[in-house]
A and B are shown apart, each in its own frame.
Chain A
């Protein structure tokens, strides 16, 4: 597994915190490699994530971003790229 950059770690931490809040689970209960759906976040609910991310980081994302990157690990890595590209 490639090393996690500081920015990627920031995204990961932020996502873990959000997820733990939404799902009412302790943060250390959330595994970054497990798909959101396994935590009971259904596909409709997952769509709402993009707005939170946009809001927090000023990124312009597709609403389906959490469908295409369905784990915290994948999503954080994508956000790093999205940030460097400006927008997607």
Chain B
């Protein structure tokens, strides 16, 4: 089985259609209605109201059920419509651009169900698929009160009892723990624990005898205040032997493999939040007068907006390649997911902070400007960097792979996966095979591995096209940076389990290089077709690529978040780049398009001026 067939146009003539996944996202957005229309269920105003009252968005979730969103959580082989993870990613992104609480509260079912769908336990998957498609919410129970992200310290036990198991213990800080009907729980099945001492148990609360479980109160949280973040306590809760998914002792491995997929989808939440933030900021700049001029005319404003847009495109390029790699480079997803899950939320946190500076007081007022949407999204978004593997966890998982990453980059093994379909947006993706998910990539990162050749290819293209010269120069610098980085991490990786702070810094730099390599691959393989489409201006002359590489290298140079001293001394070329990019940003804003490399209308429609 292959994913939805794509029409291909004769090269250079016609961009076939908008990308089907982007089109699907646009359809969802359209059908949810104009969020600026206060009367709608999915309106910005309603989101704010629910947030204020810390109310669960039950009505919104029910409407999404009706729309059929849950179908996209269920792989086609189990009766759902999930064939291409790009679809799911775009759907999450479009939901998140309205309201992260809703996106997370609904999307959580995918996180909860994914371990079952990816386990290869077809019977369990089919059972769960039926429930999910009928609107049952599934929750993922990994964390406990005192162990944070250290999931293998978990104390909730599952012990053999008769034909089945008995569960005892508590899971805490669990999204939808109370409202979810089903719980995928990581349970300790061996008293001594260890990586083979845990099992994944799918619990259906509807089937538990009364008195064997209770819910912990909803926690008051900084953001996504309406979400059901709570916990569950199990007391001699009986489940059948078939509730164990992925085998006794296989829980840790199953969870870690599943997290590779879900961590690759989480960045879509950040992309949506960044779109929301940028849309508010552009709107504000265009209507706000300061010092006798429109805010949008001030060079600093334009630079800030263009920078945020470039960062957003950087995140989108990385995320696009990462999501495609679920299908096309499954065996290396451990690396790819860690990079995406770390980098995208972190960069979007920076975008939100920078644009908040532009909005000034309005970014803090709860109801004055644009219903107080900015302050909500700023609070809400901080969760994305925390859940499903936080920054430290993701960087650490790169650190422990440094030796393998360096080895394969500096002396590539004779193993060359075919990456054309990965980078070419017009190519079909192979069907996703969960069996190919491995905990550690055997050959490092092939995406990073494409960098040297891609740089040569861009340089060759630039020979006849001076407009590409700066992008090519930046790419060469990236190549040098990446080589130095790999040489460094190859030699200073002697500590495991006790990684030095400098290695976290290297993991951060690695992620940036990776994002640059992904962007370069994407542009090289997709630009010819994309240049003929509605967003062609962004692709022509390597505009977005140049901007993205510029942002990557800027962050490489700085020790931390790039906010201080971000705009370096720039010549005319840099100003020119910033202005050309800003023109595209304004165009997408006014046309009512998603801020994206690919065309995708938003439900607000064009901005009337």
List residues of chain A with CB under 8 Å of any chain B CB. 21-24, 35, 37, 39-48, 50-52, 54-55, 62-64, 67-68, 70
Contacts and interface: CB of A to CB of B under 8 A. Distances in A.
Contacts of A43: 152, 194-195, 252
Contact of A50 (B195, B252, B440, B494): B440
A62 B438 CA distance: 9
Nearest to B153: A42
A48 B401 contact: yes
A24 B494 CA distance: 8
A51 B397 CA distance: 14
Given A44-B397, A50-B440, A64 B497 contact: no
A54 to B, nearest CB: 8
29 contacts: A22-B494, A23-B498, A24-B498, A41-B496, A41-B497, A42-B152, A43-B194, A43-B252, A44-B397, A45-B400, A45-B497, A47-B400, A47-B439, A48-B400, A48-B404, A48-B440, A50-B440, A51-B401, A51-B404, A51-B407, A51-B440, A52-B403, A63-B439, A64-B253, A67-B195, A67-B196, A67-B252, A67-B253, A70-B196
Contacts, number: 68
A40 B194 CA distance: 12
B442 interface: yes
B396 interface: yes
Q: Which 5 residue pairs spanning A and B have beta carbons closest together?
A: A67-B195, A63-B440, A22-B496, A51-B404, A45-B497
Interface of B: 152, 194-196, 252-253, 396-397, 400-401, 403-404, 407, 438-440, 442, 494-498
Given A22-B494, A43-B195, A70-B194, A63 B442 contact: yes
Q: Is the interface of A mostly helix, strand, loop or mixed?
A: helix
B498 A44 contact: no
Contacts of B438: 62-63
B156 to A, nearest CB: 17
Nearest to A43: B195
A51 B405 CA distance: 10
Contact of B194 (A35, A44, A63): A35
Contacts of A37: 194
Given A43-B252, A44-B396, A67-B195, A51 B442 contact: yes
B497 A23 contact: yes
